[in-house]
Amino acid sequence: MAGNISSIEIYESEISYERLQINPEDFFETSDASVPSYEPFLSEMEEVISIGKNISKASALYRILDTVSIGKKEFSADSLEFNCGSKIARQLRNAEQLIVFVCTSGHGITQQYKEYINTNELVKAYFVDILGNIIVEKAMDIIQEHISEEMKTRGMNITNRYSPGYCNWNTNEQAKVFSMLPDNPCGVKLTPSSLMIPSKSISGVIGCGKNVKYTAYGCQLCELEMCIYRKKRK
């Protein structure tokens, strides 16, 4: 890992649980379950939402890179080439800078999930697992909005964010993303098989430039059938 990276253009931030404004509707949006099917378990859901303030430690770190090149199926940054596929490369075209990022909900979500499993509170375990996804996505939404506002002051727009595993971008390239950041950013570790610990973490890139465009997520871009946000992105 790149432990000697210069601190120039590296930013780290914690996001309070209150700022995420999590509510039951967030669970409906990230699940195929309908509201009626959740009604018998709303008390468990609300309890999980409530304890979130004690177990969430959402934080993000990102780095701005100046030397970038975007090809038809790949991009390069920091002397590394990423085989992201044509769909993501198309979204990143015209980027003058790239932002690499890591965002996490923290270790508390995993610990609470294991505790619920050990006490056979499986409904709560299910909800806390979803909560971890909601936390990290909402936290990154906040960071992305901050990046957008910052780039506007520099006369640039941003693309949406794209992560290894999305649109056939191989998850093995997660190691390259991490190599451009300080060791264990936000306490997130990468296993040899490119899994992040804590598991409720995301990493990826955002393009920046005068002529880049922000495109909302759409399942026509991604063939990942098991994506838990597939319903949300339709």
Question: Consecutive sets of 10 residues in the chain, 234 residues long: mean pLDDT of each?
Answer: 48 94 87 65 94 96 92 93 96 95 97 97 95 96 95 95 93 95 95 95 97 80 50 47
Residue 33's pLDDT is 56
Count the neighbouring beta carbons within 10 Å of the beta carbon of residue 51.
Answer: 15
Residue 234's pLDDT is 43
Residue 227's pLDDT is 52
Residue 69's pLDDT is 94
Antiparallel, parallel or unpaired: β 157-162 and 75-77: unpaired
Residue 78's pLDDT is 83
Cα(130)–Cα(103) distance, rounded to whole angstroms? 16
Q: For residue 223, with 0-12 CB atoms within 10 Å meaning exposed, 13-18 middle and 19 or more buried, which class applies?
A: exposed
Domain at 10-229, CATH class: alpha beta
Residue 18 near residue 58, CB atoms below 8 Å: no
Place of tokens 């390259």: 176
Residue 46's pLDDT is 95
Burial 12-49 (b: 16+ CB within 10 A, else e): eeebebeebebeeebbbebbeeeeeebeebeebbeebb
